[in-house]
Amino acid sequence: MGCNCGKNQSSNPDGERASANLKQVQKKRMEPPVNRPTFPQIPQLTEPRHRTKLISPPPKLRFTSTEEMMDRMNRGLPPTSPDSGIEQNTSSKQESNLESEPVKTPSFVDKVKNLGKSVASRVTQGKASEDLIKLRVLSCHGDGEVVPCPYRSASNTREGAYFCTACGCGDKPRAFLNDPDDSGAYTKLDYPWVSCPVRMPGFGDYKPFSEETQEAIDKLPNGMKRKQLTEVVLTARGIEIPPAYEPVKTNGDTNDSSES
C-alpha cells in the first residue's frame, strides 16, 4: 500500500517532470527580455467594401474681359464661353446652390441706412421710372441672354415670389422682387432709390464692374461676373446705364450726379 510520505512522492516520475518544468519557467522569467519585432494587427472588415468617388475641387472662376465678350457678340456668339465661369443654367439650379454657398449680408447699420433711403425716395418721388424698373428686372431676373442673379431665391412663404438673399432683407412681402399675382403691384424694384449688394445696373448704388475693387469681386464673385456680362449685353443692345445717384433729400432737393 502506498503512503503519503515524501519518500514515495520523490520516486513519482510525473512529479519529477512537473518539478523540472516549473524550474525551467522560473529560469526563463529571470532571463532579460528579448526585443522582437511586432506587427500591427490588421482589422477585419465587417462590412462590404464600397468604391469611394473622389470629388474634385470646383474650378477657379475665370473672368472674361469685356472686350472678349463684345467680340463674341459681334460675331453672333454668346458673350461667354463654357469655361468663362458663367453657366447658362436654369434659375432653379442656381437657387438650389444657394444653401451651400452662403453670402455675407450687409451690416445692420447699412441695412437701416439703405431702408431709410428707399422709404424717403418713395415718400418724395413715389415710383421709379419704367426704364429704371426694366433695368432692375433684368439685373435680378435676367432674360434669354442673361441668367437670373445667383442670389435670387424663391420665397418659402409665397409661391412664385422671389427675394434677394444677399441684401439681408429676408423672405418678407415688402422685400419681394416681384408679385406673382399682380404685375402692377408695388414691389422692392419700384422704389425710386433701392440698393443692390452687387451694385447692378438700375440700382441707386450702381457701380461699373471696371471700378470694382478686387476685394469686392472676391466677396461676391458670381454676382460680379454676372454684372460684367449684363453690362456687355446692355451695351450691345444700345441701352445706356444710368450712373449711381442719391435719393431725394427730405427738403425736396435732388442730387442725381453724386455716387453713394
Domain hosting residue 210, numbered range: 91-236
pLDDT score of 23: 77
C-alpha span between 225 and 209 (Å, rounded): 8
pLDDT in tens, 139-188: 999 998 899 999 999 999 999 999 999 998 999 999 999 999 998 999 99
Instruction: Report the pLDDT value the prediction gives residue 74, as an integer from 0 to 100.
Output: 67
Burial status of residue 68 (CB atoms within 10 A of its CB: 0-12, 13-18, 19 or more):
middle
Whole-number CA gyration radius for the chain: 38
In a domain, 220, yes or no: yes
In the numeric block, the cell 420665397 is attached to 155
pTM: 0.63
Average of pLDDT values for 192-219? 95
What pLDDT was estimated at residue 178? 96
Query: How much is the average pLDDT of 194-213?
Result: 96
In degrees, rounded to 5, the angle at the alpha carbon of residue 61 between the alpha carbons of residues 60 and 66 is 150
pLDDT tens-place string over residues 226-235: 999 999 999 9
